[in-house]
């Protein structure tokens, strides 16, 4: 039976991942501010930009273009506002959105809804080569473009350089957003050996830089390369963009690969999406990090419930350690409907458990799960450490209350 804990202090030690720069394309594409990492209007490539307004009224959007260094339009260019009708999608060219641009233009685009209330929208872009080939680029919600903190590594896989026809060239792009940052970047072989020399790039706020042939840029030896990984690391927690294109030098089509944050990364700091949570409970204070009040007196027969939101299908494991008295803890995972999923009476851990397919839990909706912790065999435990890991990441664990033992 579960017994309540006496006085507790909660310390969260988290190893977190962002989706970084969220950094992967996601089905969650709507936001109030959306950035398109690359837009172009040159003799080789042009952009088709699609803005979708899901609202039941028309919405006005503010548009800002940030040109790359070395182009005819470097830095910030404010473009005219655009209006998209209710529940419609409007197609634009870069020249149509920003008619003041001159000559060849490439950079990034930021579009923000210009309303007094929150009206999320989405953006999609097709970059077309002169011959009709091209690649797709999603518009990224601005909040998804985050590094996860200073010195967190992000990466891009599968880069190559090839001289023989059709010829492949890898070009990489780095851009700061509204804050200055310093980025260290480099190339790694399949065995993680350094190619050439890592380089450091200092970017002012809203600066955008293109690096043609990243292999030559870092000083890699002459010749062909395949299965190469690019790495990027900032010196602060400012958001930035990093992506590469692998270009076919015969038809000039290319692809788009945005950098993804390394997993796991113990120095990241996104409490909305934790991949490893360690909760240390000891005698002392009376609140968790979310300000939830914890029990301050002894309640025999009461368990602790830790609440969090999960994204299923996923796999979660949890374990108790440092239990006082030793070996007397127990832990159980419960789904949003109250159904036990793993763990149980006098079990101090459960190995990776599948949360089930989407429709099998909470009608397919990501919901509020619980981990229940207490003492085994009627023993009062006064301290424990709970550690849980998740493949998709969860919200921060918060104290969900103390109640009569349920298992």
Virtual torsion, Cα 177, 181, 182, 188, nearest 10 deg: -40
pLDDT in the model for residue 286: 57
221 has pLDDT over 60: yes
We find that the CATH architecture of domain 33-143 is: Sandwich (2.60)
**Strand locations in 32-71, DSSP E?**
33-41, 45-53, 59-67
2 has pLDDT over 60: no
Rounded CA-CA distance 300/214 in Å is: 64
Q: Which residue from 89, 96, 2, 1 is spatially nearest to 295, judged by alpha carbons?
A: 2
Average pLDDT over residues 395-407: 78
* Higher pLDDT, residue 267 or 344: 344
pLDDT in tens, 266-315: 445 566 777 888 777 765 555 555 555 665 444 456 688 899 999 999 99
> Which CATH number fits the domain 9-17+270-404, given the four candidates 3.50.50.60, 1.10.3210.10, 2.60.120.380, 3.40.50.300?
2.60.120.380
* Higher pLDDT, residue 105 or 381: 105
* Higher pLDDT, residue 287 or 61: 61
- With tokens 């970017």, the residue in question is 203
44 has pLDDT over 60: yes
Query: What is the residue extent of each domain of the chain?
Result: 9-17+270-404, 33-143, 145-261
Q: Which structure tokens are listed for 332? A: 């159980």
* Higher pLDDT, residue 166 or 24: 166
Domain 33-143 matches domain 145-261 at the CATH topology level: yes
Contact 141, 29 (CB under 8 A): yes
Rounded CA-CA distance 69/53 in Å is: 32
List all residues 6 or more positions away from 93 whose beta carbon is below 8 Å from its beta carbon.
41, 46, 47, 48, 49
In this prediction, residue 119 has a pLDDT band, given cuts at 50, 70 and 90, of very high
- Give one DSSP letter per residue of 103-128, joined into a string: SSEEEEEEEEE-SSS---BEEEEEEE
Contact 241, 167 (CB under 8 A): no
Contact 243, 161 (CB under 8 A): no
List residues bridging with 279 in a β-sheet: 12, 386
- Range of lowest pLDDT (110-124, 165-179, 211-225, 387-401): 387-401
Please tell me the class of the 145-261 domain: mainly beta
């Amino acid at each position: 039976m579960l017994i309540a804990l006496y006085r507790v202090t909660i310390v969260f030690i988290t190893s977190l991942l962002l989706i970084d720069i969220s950094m992967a394309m996601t089905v969650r594409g709507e936001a109030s501010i959306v950035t398109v990492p690359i837009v172009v209007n040159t003799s080789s490539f042009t952009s088709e930009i699609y803005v979708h307004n899901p609202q039941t009224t028309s919405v006005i959007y503010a548009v800002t273009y940030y040109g790359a260094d070395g182009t005819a339009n470097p830095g910030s260019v404010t473009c005219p506002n655009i209006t998209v009708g209710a529940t419609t999608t409007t197609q634009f060219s870069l020249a149509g959105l920003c008619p003041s641009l001159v000559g060849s233009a490439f950079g990034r685009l930021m579009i923000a809804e210009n309303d007094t209330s929150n009206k999320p929208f989405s953006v999609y872009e097709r970059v077309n080569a002169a011959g009709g080939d091209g690649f797709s680029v999603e518009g990224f919600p601005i909040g998804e473009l985050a590094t996860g903190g200073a010195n967190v590594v992000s990466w891009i896989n599968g880069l190559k350089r090839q001289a023989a026809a059709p010829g492949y060239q890898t070009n990489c792009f780095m851009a700061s957003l509204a804050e200055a940052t310093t980025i260290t970047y480099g190339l790694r072989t399949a065995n993680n050996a350094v190619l050439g020399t890592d380089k450091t790039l200092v970017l002012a706020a809203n600066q955008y830089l293109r690096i043609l042939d990243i292999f030559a840029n870092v000083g890699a030896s002459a010749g062909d390369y395949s299965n190469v990984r690019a790495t990027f690391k900032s010196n602060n927690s400012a958001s930035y963009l990093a992506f590469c294109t692998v270009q076919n030098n015969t038809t000039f089509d290319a692809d788009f690969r945005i950098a993804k944050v390394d997993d796991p990364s113990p120095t990241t700091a996104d409490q909305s999406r934790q991949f490893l949570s360690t909760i240390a409970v000891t005698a002392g204070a009376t609140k968790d990090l979310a300000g939830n009040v914890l029990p301050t007196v002894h309640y025999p027969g009461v368990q602790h419930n830790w609440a969090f939101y999960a994204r299923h299908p996923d796999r979660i494991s949890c374990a108790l350690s440092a239990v006082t008295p030793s070996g007397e803890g127990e832990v159980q995972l419960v789904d949003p409907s109250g159904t036990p999923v793993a763990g149980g009476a006098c079990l101090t851990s459960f190995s990776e458990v599948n949360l089930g397919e989407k429709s099998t839990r909470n009608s397919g909706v990501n919901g509020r799960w619980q981990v229940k912790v207490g003492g085994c065999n009627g023993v009062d435990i006064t301290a424990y450490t709970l550690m849980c890991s998740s493949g998709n990441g969860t919200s921060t664990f918060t104290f969900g209350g103390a109640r009569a033992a349920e298992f």
